Chain A
Amino acid sequence: DTGVSQNPRHKITKRGQNVTFRCDPISEHNRLYWYRQTLGQGPEFLTYFQNEAQLEKSRLLSDRFSAERPKGSFSTLEIQRTEQGDSAMYLCASSLTGPNRAQYFGPGTRLLVL
Chain B
Amino acid sequence: AQSVAQPEDQVNVAEGNPLTVKCTYSVSGNPYLFWYVQYPNRGLQFLLKYITGDNLVKGSYGFEAEFNKSQTSFHLKKPSALVSDSALYFCAVRDISGDSSYKLIFGSGTRLLVRP
Give residues in A with beta carbon < 8 Å to B: 4, 6, 31, 33, 35, 40-45, 48, 55-56, 58, 91, 93, 95, 99-100, 102-108, 110
Contacts and interface: CB of A to CB of B under 8 A. Distances in A.
Contacts of A102: 34, 46, 49
Given A42-B90, A42-B109, A56-B102, A100 B32 contact: yes
A42 B9 CA distance: 12
B46 A45 contact: no
Contact of A42 (B41, B45, B92): B92
A99 B96 contact: yes
Task: Specify which of A31, A102, A108, A110 lies most central, judged by the most chain B CB atoms within 10 Å of its CB.
Answer: A102
A99 B100 contact: yes
Given A43-B106, A102-B34, A4 B101 contact: no
Contact of B43 (A31, A40, A91, A99): A91
B42 A45 contact: no
B9 to A, nearest CB: 9
A34 B109 CA distance: 19
B51 A4 contact: no
A99 B51 CA distance: 9
The 4 closest A-B pairs by CB, nearest first: A42-B106, A45-B103, A105-B43, A105-B44
A48 B49 contact: no
B108 A42 contact: yes
B51 A100 contact: yes
Interface in B17-48: 32, 34, 36, 41-46
Contacts of A55: 102
Contact of B101 (A56, A105, A107): A56
B104 interface: yes
A100 B46 CA distance: 13
Contacts of A103: 34, 46, 104
Contacts of A6: 43
25 contacts: A35-B104, A40-B109, A41-B108, A42-B4, A42-B106, A43-B44, A43-B90, A43-B104, A44-B106, A45-B104, A48-B102, A55-B102, A56-B101, A56-B102, A56-B103, A58-B103, A91-B44, A93-B44, A99-B96, A99-B100, A99-B102, A103-B104, A104-B46, A105-B46, A108-B42
